[in-house]
Structure 1
Amino acid sequence: MTTDSNLDARRHRTVVWVVALATVGLIFDGYDLVVYGTVVSKFLRDASQIGTVTPATAGALGSYALVGVLVGALLAGSVGDILGRRKVMLFSYAWFSFGMGLTAMTTTTTMFGLMRFVTGLGVGALVATTGALVSEYAPKGRKNLCNAITYSGVPLGSLLAAMLAILWLQHVGWRGMFWIGALPFVTLLPLAYFKMPESVAWLVSRGRLDEARAISQQTGVEIPGIMPSAAGGVPPASAGKAGFAGLFVSYLFPTLILGLMSATGLVLVYSLNTWLPELMLRAGFNARGSLSFLLVLNGGAVIGALAGSRVADTFGPKPVVAACFLIGSISISLLTLKVPLGVLLTVVAIVGLGTSGTQTLIYGFVANYYRTNVRGAGVAWCAGFGRLGGVVGPLLGGLLISIGLALDSIFYILAAVGILGVLLTLLVPSARGPRELPSTSIEPSLRAKPGKLASSGIKKS
């Protein structure tokens, strides 16, 4: 009984570390997402910052980071199922930290846009890999919840950016806001190096059984599919081709639909997070008031994603994602009504649930849809191809503002995008076949020698 208790304690501690570190990483992703939206109004009105910035230019600058995210996510999908989750995530923390610091030192629109693209490469690789690692450590029946907690880091980071902009922007300027985004290099990266293990399921799927046993012994996480053969070997946890090759051979239609679904969600996420402060400024609110809407938007996203994930673990993610898209569409339409400020803020919070909150649930949906050896590629596709929607979002907002479209018309167009998301979600077919083999405990004779622990991506504590 004591042994079982110790095993459960180690397993619980490991899951907590993995989810916590992954969440903090995505908090900085969310911060990167919104920090530009908090300073874009300053760029539009003060050419001394990085040069003359028109609404169309501002939309383009907002999209450069998302092009980088797209490229970074797809590159990570190509290597993440081959090199491992841990290596890609550690590299991503370092990369986007440097990118944020270098962005803070730019003086022209050209260099600002270039460094936003460079930063996006690291952010994309991180988003593409995080869901796979968390899904492979999350306990059964809690996978959507663990992914929702993790990906709630994105709206939490967005909320943090809005809050810090309200409190500090006038004191530290836009450069100080970007320097904050470089902090993971000296905080999160060292901690993750010592505390974030490689995925046991991924190691088994690659046939790296000694390392899998070592991490299993250290973390208490069971090895999937431990079924010793006559030769003493263990079959891989996943069959078939790995990475994008396996993804498009075994899951072609659902992968295309999931990519389009993610892209649709990200059109809403990035258009609102980039342009909502400016739209509310044009609606008559002052600078701080307009940033407060961004704060409420992302607060609603966090609460909505966590609540939705509990329902998704019970009824499945597909109907929940479809319902959240519908809620987002309806609530965006309601922004056109003339209502008291308190009611308007409530509606904005519901918009957050139906946009950023929905996107959080989509990542959990995708991470649990695929088998182990294509999971990283599947999440990468969702994050990478989906970022086409992220590229379109800021450009769409800039275009609609540039042509002088009324605020009500802009909101109705975004509401129509939400309806498209509902339809795409309903087209996703049910997942076929097992995503993992059954997990069983490790026999004592199969456990690794202590000396192999350090080479497996987690340090002995």
Structure 2
Amino acid sequence: MTEKTAPEVDVWESPAHKRTVYGVLAVVALAILFDGYDLVVYGAILPSLMADPSQIGPLGAAQAGALGSYALVGVMIGALSAGAVGDRLGRRRIMLGAIAWFSIGMAATSFATNITTFGILRLLTGLGIGAIVATGGAIIAEFAPAGKRNLFNAVVYSGIPAGGVLASALAMVLREHIGWRGLFLIGALPILIVLPYAWYALPESPRWLSSRGRTDEAVALCYARGLPTAAFIDPPAAPAADTTADSVATAAAPTGFAGLLTPAYRLGTLLLGFMSFAGLLLTYGLNTWLPTIMESYGINAKSSLGFLLVLNGGAILGGLAASRLADKHGPRVIVACSFVLATLALVAVTLSPPFALMILLVAAAGMGTIGTQVLVYGFVSNYYETGSRAAGVAWCAGFGRLGGILGPVIGGLLVAAGLQAETSFLVFAGVALAGALITLAVPRSPGLVAQVPDTVLGAGRDDQAGGSPEPVKTPGADLR
């Protein structure tokens, strides 16, 4: 049991503060919900596309896997691009533009009549998705109250499996009535229902403004939105007694992607990228091929789609529950344990358990795969300082998408080779185990946020204050 070293206080300084933060949370969560919808809707309609060549043309298993990866190539490019400009242009502009881009892409894809057009439009749509995922983590890290960063990240990124649940449920109910084209048009709704709300409810990040030297704008925004300036504006660095080379170097610390490659962050950046690689390989591989793999077990088509509901439902519950533990004990050990849970569940599925137990194991696999990726985003967004935060999330979302690209391709190759379903699950289990080992190797962040949970430091102390804190000996304080 962790000993409290600071009194509990109300994290909300005014109703306007609470209203603003929850408005930001709602915008990002809704945007990422449709990212999850896009992720799963392709897997949900894939059996129909493969069975009916009149839709977009004859589609084999290997080609279907490659086609599923096209959107992920776009996501990777979009995430890395957003990271390159997000720490310079700001959070609000990138998020609003990405919502509009993604929605138009989904609508355009619904009118595709051949495989080539479908693939190109999926890639272009992915650009917007990548920008949303990369920018969302930075926004939440800069608006979430002290002691709740992992929880708020989990709420937001649980939108990915929640969107998967929505896509699976709508596919089960509406696929025979509106077809795959109608399901894709549903994915275009953000431009009508999310973008207008985001225009009103999503302000620029005051912390980002102050990090760019626009302190007056940041202060004005805080007053207008009821945000406490002490928590949302980084204090200026204390004047140095001399102008040594070290002090000049500190003042000119690199930001953006350059900041990720400084000696303090270099190893962590590399390992966090591979953590995300493993998590997204599992997420996209299972969401694309789980219905098809389950049909090879003799389960009918509708029940196979139901397993997507179970997988993503388990991810939502698991991600939210694990995020509370991550806020108390640090995310590293929680993420590693979550990967191990996925390993054990996927291996157990290969033993052909009874149907009821199969459902529980798939839910546990969802907790340990998609749910783990939810935690990874929270881990990453709090690992870096303000000047490199968007780039850090973008790096993991972008590089991780290489795993997402491989996931559908690996699944397609395994299915096309005629291997037993058990082989697919064992391959994914091996990836989960590798993810656990990589997670345990991630070093402590040099930033204050990553060193000690906010509940240990005490509310009201700015998480981005300069300098290195004194170590606090308390359970979970080292991002285990």
Q: CA 1:167/1:79 → structure 2, altered by over 3 Å: closer, same or farther?
A: same
Aligned letter for 1:362? V
Aligned pairs (5 A) from 1:176-191: 176-191=182-197
1:145 aligns with 2:151: yes
RMSD of Structure 2 on Structure 1 (CA): 1.9
Aligned letter for 1:257? L
Question: Which position in structure 1 is the counterpart of 2:257?
Answer: 244
Contact 2:273/2:400 (CA < 8 Å) preserved in 1?
A: yes
Question: Which position in structure 1 is the counterpart of 2:101?
Answer: 95
Secondary structure of the residue aligned to 2:14 is helix
Q: Distance in 2 between matches of 1:71 and 1:356?
A: 21
Q: Distance in 1 between matches of 2:236 and 2:52?
A: 66
Aligned pairs (5 A) from 1:108-257: 108-221=114-227, 222=229, 223-226=232-235, 240-249=253-262, 250-257=264-271
Q: For each residue in 1:134-174, what CA deviation from the matched residue of structure 2 results, as whole angstroms up to 9, or x when unmatched? A: 01000110000000000000000011000000110110000
Secondary structure of the residue aligned to 1:14 is helix
Q: For each residue in 1:391-428, what CA deviation from the matched residue of structure 2 results, as whole angstroms up to 9, or x when unmatched? A: 00000000011111111111111111110001100110
1:362 aligns with 2:376: yes
1:392 aligns with 2:406: yes
Q: CA 1:238/1:362 → structure 2, altered by over 3 Å: closer, same or farther?
A: farther
Q: For each residue in 1:358-399, what CA deviation from the matched residue of structure 2 results, as whole angstroms up to 9, or x when unmatched? A: 000000000000000000000000100000000000000000
Aligned letter for 2:120? L
Deviation, 1:20, is: 1.1
Deviation, 1:287, is: 1.2
Aligned letter for 1:85? R
1:272 aligns with 2:278: no
Q: Distance in 2 between matches of 1:147 and 1:319?
A: 17
Deviation, 1:226, is: 3.7
Deviation, 1:220, is: 2.5
Q: Distance in 2 between matches of 1:287 and 1:238?
A: 60
Q: CA 1:376/1:43 → structure 2, altered by over 3 Å: closer, same or farther?
A: same
Contact 1:84/1:202 (CA < 8 Å) preserved in 2?
A: yes
Q: Distance in 2 between matches of 1:238 and 1:119?
A: 39
Match of 1:372 among 386, 393, 400: 386
Q: Distance in 1 between matches of 2:51 and 2:268?
A: 45
Q: For each residue in 1:425-448, what CA deviation from the matched residue of structure 2 results, as whole angstroms up to 9, or x when unmatched? A: 0110001133599549xxxxxxxx
Q: Distance in 1 between matches of 2:397 and 2:182?
A: 28
TM-score (norm 2): 0.87
Secondary structure of the residue aligned to 1:186 is helix
Aligned pairs (5 A) from 1:45-64: 45-64=51-70
Aligned letter for 2:412? G
Contact 1:100/1:179 (CA < 8 Å) preserved in 2?
A: yes
Question: Which position in structure 1 is the counterpart of 2:363?
Answer: 349
Q: For each residue in 1:84-127, what CA deviation from the matched residue of structure 2 results, as whole angstroms up to 9, or x when unmatched? A: 01100000000000000000000000000000000000000110
Q: Distance in 1 between matches of 2:234 and 2:98?
A: 30
Q: Distance in 1 between matches of 2:101 and 2:56?
A: 23
Contact 2:11/2:145 (CA < 8 Å) preserved in 1?
A: no
Deviation, 1:285, is: 1.2
Aligned letter for 2:277? A
Q: Distance in 2 between matches of 1:133 and 1:191?
A: 16
Aligned letter for 1:104? S
Match of 2:424 among 407, 410, 413: 410
TM-score (norm 1): 0.91
Aligned pairs (5 A) from 1:425-436: 425-434=439-448
Q: Distance in 1 between matches of 2:236 and 2:131?
A: 34
Deviation, 1:238, is: 8.7
Deviation, 1:286, is: 1.2
Question: Which position in structure 1 is the counterpart of 2:40?
Answer: 34
Contact 1:238/1:372 (CA < 8 Å) preserved in 2?
A: no
Q: Distance in 1 between matches of 2:25 and 2:237?
A: 31
Deviation, 1:240, is: 1.5
Aligned letter for 2:254? K
Deviation, 1:265, is: 0.8
Aligned letter for 1:24? L
Aligned letter for 1:184? P
Aligned letter for 1:151? Y
Contact 2:31/2:194 (CA < 8 Å) preserved in 1?
A: yes
Q: Distance in 2 between matches of 1:121 and 1:352?
A: 26
Question: Which position in structure 2 is the counterpart of 1:85?
Answer: 91
Q: Distance in 1 between matches of 2:343 and 2:92?
A: 37
Q: For each residue in 1:275-318, what CA deviation from the matched residue of structure 2 results, as whole angstroms up to 9, or x when unmatched? A: 00011112111111000000010000000000000000000000
Q: Distance in 1 between matches of 2:155 and 2:323?
A: 9
Q: Distance in 1 between matches of 2:367 and 2:115?
A: 33
Q: Give the unaligned 5+ runs of structure 2.
A: 1-9, 240-249, 451-459, 464-480
Aligned letter for 1:387? R
Q: Distance in 2 between matches of 1:129 and 1:205?
A: 16
Q: Distance in 1 between matches of 2:13 and 2:147?
A: 19
